[in-house]
Chains A and B, each alone.
Chain A
Amino acid sequence: MSPTETSSSTRRELHIEVAADEVTRETEALIRKYQQLARIPGFRRGHVPASVIRQRFAEEIRSQVVDALVPRHFREQTDKQGLVPVSQPQVTDLSIQEGEPLRFKASFEVLPKITVEGYKELRAVKPSITVSDEEVEQSLKNLQEQHATFVSVEGRALAENDFAQVSLDGKPEDGQGQPVHMDDLLVEIGGTNTMPEFTENLRGRFVGDEPSFAVHYAPDFSDPRLAGKTVLYTVKVQAIKRKQLPEMNDQFAQQLGEFANLDQVRQRLREGIEADRRRQAEREAKDKLVAQLIERNDFELPEALVERQIDLRLERGRRALMAQGVKPEDIKKLDLNRLRAAERERARQEVKGSLLLDRIAEEENIRVEEEEINREVEALAAQSRQSPDAIRARLTREGVLDRIRDRIRNEKTLDFLYRQSA
């Protein structure tokens, strides 16, 4: 008694009827439960007659009966017909009367039949990865910069490329905004990150000098608190420092860690750059593979999955903003509808990609071993400094574990595609 109506390849509607005696049984069980618990004036607990319960708790009992029966029968029917719903069913035309069968319609989305074709013919470009000597030298130089030390210079004025150690007081010219005070600030004379006014006014100064000058910030200055403003600074030169780079020799190498000489450092740097590039190239190649896959295999997508993916993407975006220090109030101000619309296309592609990868995984019998999940969980545990068991319990509860499993499977499937695309 439940014709499946097909309105599209992903939407299904079921008409479900629950036998009257089952409804009665459920109702009576509930009444018995209420009888044990209900406290009604005039009755001792547990001595309230069913008729009183039926009258007092009519609404509650009704909705509980529905809550109990509807999902159960919905699942039964979908199981029987071999449908896998991917969305919560929308229940309509619900009718429940004493002594009558419970009837309702449920509409929901299912995964379409997906056939993947041509994934064996996919070809990915595997670029050859080269790292030039210059690049290695450049990153060695960066390393050298990072290990630079500052040494004090005595008895002369500030010159180009010196660092002035200063304390400063700044006051916005228009009196609006907070005055700033900073100690032990290092200002590079003529440095690319130094405001030109600072360079001009500090060059040639001695320790103990206290010049005052105004600095005008451009309207598009990176710090919005300063953009477009003119600030009056009084700067006190405390010391003059020079940056001293460590000498490029085997001693420097040993200082960096487990290296015996510079060549070993070069070797390690080269490997690092190479691995980075390879990873990036691989990622790009895989993205292209998925894009091709989607192009070759088009199918109708259940909206519920797309919506869920959009939610996921927005949530990720929200976290990223939070991490950047954007205030929650400001995030709330964002136009959610517009954002959702903007994410829709990307979300569709992602869902399609992962559905196709799922199919391929099935076809190729790609499985995720318990061990692989454990490894992932342990990595997470180490990151958040909690015990793996605690993390696992939380993830299971929040359903994230399944997501991790899916992700690993997708990753493995991608690896498979990538390998066989050579």
Chain B
Amino acid sequence: MRSAYQILRRPVITEKGLAIKEHQNTLVFQVAPRATKTEIKQAVEIIFKVKVDSVRTARYPGKERRRGKFAGYRPDWKKAYVRLRAGEKIPEYAQNL
């Protein structure tokens, strides 16, 4: 089993990510592509000491990047929307984003 820190890569800091943090009590992370919803749920609960209500995930295939005639791909990645249980406080770490 991978550690919680290997599953959560980084918070997704975008307009959308911050907006749903405010309005839907939901945190957005980039997570390991092979992580399952259950693993993500456990990881957030361990790291931030909050109860998770539900997790939705989405996979993003890496975009093609060219350097002249050489083509390559950015890595594929996975995004997770982690909804906290009603009444849970947003952790300070996420608060400051």
B96 touches A42 (CB 8 A): no
B15 touches A51 (CB 8 A): no
Closest to A56 in B: B13
B18 touches A49 (CB 8 A): yes
Taken residue by residue from 34 to 77, chain A's Cβ proximity to chain B (1 for < 8 Å, 0 otherwise) reads as 00000001111001010110010000000000000000000000
Closest to B14 in A: A42
Instruction: From B12, B14, B17, B96, give the contact of A51 (CB < 8 A).
Output: B96
Residue count of chain B within 8 Å CB distance of chain A: 8
Most chain B CB within 10 A, of A43, A47, A55, is at A43
B96 touches A47 (CB 8 A): no
| Nearest CB of chain A from residue B63's CB, rounded to whole Å | 14
A52 touches B97 (CB 8 A): yes
A47 — which chain B residues lie within 8 A by C-beta? 15
- A interface SS class: loop
Q: List the count of A-B residue pairs having beta carbons below 8 Å apart.
A: 18
A49 to B22, CA, bound (A): 12
A55 to B96, CA, bound (A): 8
Residue count of chain A within 8 Å CB distance of chain B: 9
Interface residues of B in 23-53 (CB under 8 A from A): none
A44 to B13, CA, bound (A): 12
Closest to B12 in A: A42
Closest to B17 in A: A42
A44 touches B96 (CB 8 A): no
| Nearest CB of chain B from residue A46's CB, rounded to whole Å | 11
A49 — which chain B residues lie within 8 A by C-beta? 18
A42 touches B97 (CB 8 A): no
| Nearest CB of chain B from residue A44's CB, rounded to whole Å | 7
Most chain A CB within 10 A, of B12, B15, B17, B96, is at B15
Closest to A47 in B: B15
A200 to B67, CA, bound (A): 81
Interface residues of A in 51-108 (CB under 8 A from B): 51-52, 55
A-B contact pairs, 18 of them (CB 8 A): A41-B14, A42-B12, A42-B13, A42-B14, A42-B15, A42-B17, A43-B14, A43-B15, A44-B15, A47-B15, A49-B18, A51-B96, A51-B97, A52-B13, A52-B18, A52-B97, A55-B96, A55-B97
What are the 6 closest A-B residue pairs judged by CB atoms, nearest first?
A42-B14, A43-B15, A47-B15, A42-B13, A49-B18, A55-B96
**Given A44-B15, A52-B97, A55-B97: 12 more A-B contacts, CB < 8 Å:** A41-B14, A42-B12, A42-B13, A42-B14, A42-B17, A43-B14, A43-B15, A47-B15, A51-B97, A52-B13, A52-B18, A55-B96
